[in-house]
Amino acid sequence: MVQETYVRAFTHLDSFRGQAQLSTWLTRIAANEALGRLRRRRITLGLKDIDAINDQGAARVIYLPSARQDGDPETSAAQAEVRRLLERAVDQVPEQFRMVFMLRDIKEMSVEETASHLGLRPETVKTRLHRARWLLRQSLDRTLSSAISDVLPCAGARCFRITQTVLERLGLPECPQG
């Protein structure tokens, strides 16, 4: 994942706008890569399979991948910690932005529904949602940036291997070890 993050960063360096620190931008790329890998690992059940279960006439419970409870304790603890981090970050967002965020991103209401519910103009909903997401991103970046550098220190032979692989994937010459 780290290698893929660096490859994506180097190949898209021209899209770095400088509105945040480079480390923040790299963290976002790494988070997107991790989320993408999780999405690709999800177990899916086709509609034909669901119809076949219904045609059998038997009552069955279908567990959705996101609702699975059979994970190991370490994964459950990590998920609980992430949930607490997110809840704290959301709680820190000022109420006028948090309400829009909750209705749009959590309750999945449309812009128009949210505007009607809160008595706002649709443009205001869009602006507040953008601001809420930005505030959340800033809060999470502050919270996670030090943790990521502690978890993924890059030094020595491991760092050299990652660098070599990234350079190879980019088609650049190898660098001498040292």
Mean pLDDT in residue range 100-127: 93
> Are residues 169 and 7 in contact, defined by beta-carbon separation less than 8 angstroms?
yes
115 pLDDT higher than 90: yes
The band of 93, judged by pLDDT with boundaries at 50, 70 and 90, is very high
Query: With a threshold of 0.85, does the pTM exceed it?
Result: no
53 pLDDT higher than 70: no
The band of 11, judged by pLDDT with boundaries at 50, 70 and 90, is confident
Q: May I ask the CATH class of domain 2-170?
A: mainly alpha
Amino acid identity for residue 82 in this structure: V
pLDDT, the chain, mean: 76
- CA pseudo-torsion sign 112, 114, 120, 126: negative
Mean pLDDT in residue range 36-63: 63
Question: Buried (b) or exposed (e) across 23-35, using 16+ Cβ within 10 A?
Answer: ebbbbbbbbebee
